[in-house]
Structure 1
C-alpha cells in the first residue's frame, strides 16, 4: 500500500498529535472555546522551498568564493598558472608559486569558516531549542537575513577590492544570525512536526534531495556565469535568493507549533534542554535504559563523522580541480559540482527503491560504501575522466544521512523534536568547524607526498560509522529474534 502524502497534511491539522502542550480532549459534545490559529495562505505549503532557495544561494556562493580567493591571492603573488600550457602535463613539476597559492587559499578558507561556524556553534542550538516554544517560522526567516547580509559584505569587498580578511566579517555576521545550519534545524524540525514515524525517513530524504537539486542548478549556473561576467553579478543573485527565501517563509509557511509569545530567547534553558536530552535519554518509554542513551550517542557520533567527511572533503574539490594536473576552468568546476550535487537526487531515488527490500540501517551502509569508493578514486584522480568517475561512484553517498536523522528522531518523544534537531544542528556546525580545520590543514601538508591523501583519509574515517551502524542493527535483530522466540 502506498504511503500517505504527508506533504499535503497541514501543520495545523497535526498540532493535536505533535505537541505535548495541547490541552486534554474535551468531553463529547463540548465545543472548542479557542478559535483556530489564523491561516496566512489557503494553499497547503511546506518548508521545502525555503531549504531549496537557501541551499541555492549557498551552493552558488561557496565555489565562487574559493575561486575569488584563488584569483585575488594569485594576483597578489603574480601567479598565472592557469594559462601555462604545461599545467595539464603531469610530468612537469608545478610552479612553486602554485603551492603557495594553494596553501594560502586553503588557509583563508579555514580562517573564514572557523570564524563563522564557531559563532554559529553557540547560536544554532539556542535558536533551534527556542523554536519549540517560540515557533519555527522565525528560525527560517532570521538566518536568511544573516546570509543576505553576508552577501552584501562580499559584494562590497569585490566592488572596492578590499582585503580578503573582510570575508571573515561577513561570515561572522551570518554566524550571529544562525547561518545555514539554523535553517536546516528549522526545516527538519518542521518536517518532524508534520510527519509520522513511517514516512519520516523519506520526508527527510526529500529535504536532503532539495539540497542536492538546488546545489546542482547553482553549480551549473555559477560556473558558466562566472566565466561570462565575473563574480559580482552571481553574488547579486545570492543576495536576491536569500531575501526571497525569507519572504516565502514569512508569507506562506504556517506555524507547526503553538508559539508562546512570552518565551524568552536569551536564556540558558535552551542549551540545558539539549544537554538533558542526551544525559537522560529523553522522556520516551525506554529512555532510562543505558542502551537507549547509548544509541543516541552512537548515532550522533556516526552523523558527526559522516557529515564531517562530507563538508571537509567538499571544500577541497575546487582546490584539487583548479591546480595541476587537472587545471579545470570555471565551467568545468561547475559541472563537477553539479555531478556531486546530482547524487542527492540519485540517493533519494535509491533510498525509495531500497526501502522495499532493505531496512534503513542496511541502506545507510550501502550509502557509506558508495561514498568510500568515490573518495578512493578521487585520491588518485589525475585526469578529468577519472575525476568524473569518482563523482559517478558517489551516486548513493547521501543515502546515509537521512537514515541517521530519522533514527535519531524516532528515538525521542514528539515533544523533544526541537531539542533534538537543535543538537543535530549544533553537531552540523561542529562538523563544519572540524571538517574545515582538518581538511584545509591536511591538504597543504600532504602536497609533497600525495596530493589526494585527504580523500583517502576521509574514506578510512567512514569505516567507523559503518561498523557502528552494522553492529547496532545486528544487536536489534538479535533482540527481536530473542523476544519473538520467548513469546
Structure 2
C-alpha cells in the first residue's frame, strides 16, 4: 500500500498547494480582470475566499457519502480531474465572475480531504489511525508552506502562471492515482448513497447519534475555531504589535506550518503510543491555552517568534480526535464522519475570520476601551478552555 499512501498524501498536499499557489497573485489578478483599486480587490478577494470555504462546508459530506457508496478511488480521481480543468479555466478567465465560478468549483473539488481521511481509516489498524491521520495533516502543512512560496516565485512569469502550475500538479496527481490507487470499499462496507444524509445537517445528525461522538464533535469545532485565530489575524496582529515586515510575517507563518507538519507527521505517533490519545489531546489543548494567554499580552516580537514551536505542539489534537471518533464509527460510515469533520472545519474557516478580525479591530482601534491587539487570542483561550472542559467531562468509553 506504499504507493496508494503516497498518492493520497500527495492529493492532500496538492489541495493545500493549490490554495496557496494563487494567494500571492490574487490582488493583482483581480485588479487585472476587474479594474478598480486594491481596496475593491480586497473585497472581491474576501468573496472568493468565502465562496471557496462555503463549498467545502457544503460538499465535504457529499463527497464523503459518495465515497462510502461508490468508492474512495472514484471520488479522488474525478475530483483531481475536475480540479485540473478548473485551474485551466481560471488561468484563462477574463472576468471576475469566471474567477468566482472557478473558486466555487475549486471549493467542491478540494473537499476531498474527507475522502482521503476515509481511505486512511479503511487501511489503518485501530492503533495506527492517529498516526496516519497525522500524516494527512503533515501533508497539508507541507502544501500550505510550499504553495505560497511557489506561487510567489511563479508570479515572476505573470499572474496566470500559478494556475497553470496548479493544473499540471492536479493532472499529474490524477495520472498517478489512475495507475496506483486501489479501491478500499468492499461490498461489506459499501453504504447506499442517500441525499438526506449527504448534506451537513443530515450527516451531522447521523454521526452525532453514535455513542460518545456528539461531545467530541463539539470539542473538534471549538478547537478548529480557536486555532484559526492564527491565519485570521496573525498578519494584522504582528504588524500592529511588533511592526513586522511582510517578509517577517511570511517567515513566521512558514515556521508555524513547518512546525505543524513536523508534529503531525512525526510527534503524533510516539505521543499516542506512550500517552494514549486522551492524554495527548489534553496536553495539546493545554499547550494551545498557554500560548493564547501569552500571545494576548506579549509586546516582544522575538519572544513571539520563539513561542511558535510551542504553539505547533497543539497540532497533535486534530489527528488524535479524528482517531477517537473513527474508532467509534462503523466502517460503512467512515466517509460520512470525515465529511462532517471537513464541514465543521470549513465552518470554522468562515466564522473565525469574521469574529477574530472584528475583535482585533475593536481593541486595536483608536477608540478602543482598552488597547489590546492580542484580544482575539483571549477569545481563542476562552473557546479552547470550554473545549477542554467539555472533553474532560465523563462520557461513554470509545472502543
Where on the TM-score scale, by shorter chain, does this alignment land: which range? 0.7 to 0.9
Q: How do residues 433-448 of structure 1 correspond to structure 2 at under 5 angstroms?
A: 433-448=350-365
Q: Give unpaired runs (5+ residues) of structure 2.
A: none
Q: 1 CA distance for matches of 2:319 and 2:194?
A: 31
Cα 1:106–1:388 shift into 2, 3 Å: farther
Aligned counterpart for 2:183 among listed residues 237, 241, 255: 255
* Pair 1:134-2:89 in alignment: no
SS at match of 2:275: coil
Partner of 2:392: 470
SS at match of 1:396: helix
* Pair 1:124-2:60 in alignment: yes
Structure 1 residue 183, shift from structure 2 partner: 1.3
* Pair 1:364-2:293 in alignment: no
Partner of 1:288: none
SS at match of 2:162: helix
Kindly provide the CA deviation profile for residues 363-386 of structure 1, in whole angstroms up to 9, marking residues without a partner as x. 112222222333444445666524
Cα 1:253–1:232 shift into 2, 3 Å: same
Partner of 1:212: 141
Aligned counterpart for 2:261 among listed residues 338, 345, 359: 345
Q: Which has the higher helix share?
A: 2
Whether the aligned pair in 2 keeps the contact of 1:145 and 1:242 (CA below 8 Å) is yes
Cα 1:45–1:343 shift into 2, 3 Å: closer
Aligned counterpart for 2:124 among listed residues 195, 198, 205: 195
Cα 1:71–1:187 shift into 2, 3 Å: same
Bigger-Rg structure (1/2): 1
Q: With a CA cutoff of 8 Å and minimum separation of 6, indicate the structure with the bigger relative contact order.
A: 2
Aligned counterpart for 2:377 among listed residues 440, 455, 477: 455
Larger mean Cα displacement after TM superposition, 358-367 or 50-59:
50-59
TM-score using structure 2 length? 0.81
Kindly provide the CA deviation profile for residues 24-54 of structure 1, in whole angstroms up to 9, marking residues without a partner as x. xxxxxxxxxxxxxxxxx9x886522221222
Q: 2 CA distance for matches of 1:109 and 1:61?
A: 11
Aligned counterpart for 2:215 among listed residues 294, 298, 309: 298
Q: Give unpaired runs (5+ residues) of structure 1.
A: 1-6, 9-40, 79-100, 282-291, 481-487
* Pair 1:316-2:228 in alignment: no
- Over the aligned positions, Cα root-mean-square deviation in angstroms equals 3.7
Structure 1 residue 332, shift from structure 2 partner: 3.6
Whether the aligned pair in 1 keeps the contact of 2:69 and 2:193 (CA below 8 Å) is no
Q: 1 CA distance for matches of 2:233 and 2:207?
A: 33
Cα 1:46–1:390 shift into 2, 3 Å: same
Q: How do residues 50-89 of structure 1 correspond to structure 2 at under 5 angstroms?
A: 50-62=11-23, 64=24, 68=28
Q: 1 CA distance for matches of 2:72 and 2:163?
A: 28
Aligned counterpart for 2:334 among listed residues 417, 422, 441: 417
Q: 2 CA distance for matches of 1:190 and 1:359?
A: 23
Structure 1 residue 428, shift from structure 2 partner: 2.3
Q: How do residues 13-92 of structure 1 correspond to structure 2 at under 5 angstroms?
A: 47-62=8-23, 64=24, 68=28
Q: 1 CA distance for matches of 2:276 and 2:131?
A: 13
Cα 1:325–1:51 shift into 2, 3 Å: same
Spell out structure 1 runs of 4+ moving beyond 6 A.
Answer: 69-72, 262-266
Cα 1:68–1:394 shift into 2, 3 Å: farther
SS at match of 2:364: coil
Structure 1 residue 137, shift from structure 2 partner: 1.8
Larger mean Cα displacement after TM superposition, 427-436 or 268-277:
268-277
Whether the aligned pair in 2 keeps the contact of 1:143 and 1:174 (CA below 8 Å) is no
Structure 1 residue 352, shift from structure 2 partner: 2.5
Q: 1 CA distance for matches of 2:19 and 2:330?
A: 32
Whether the aligned pair in 2 keeps the contact of 1:109 and 1:440 (CA below 8 Å) is no
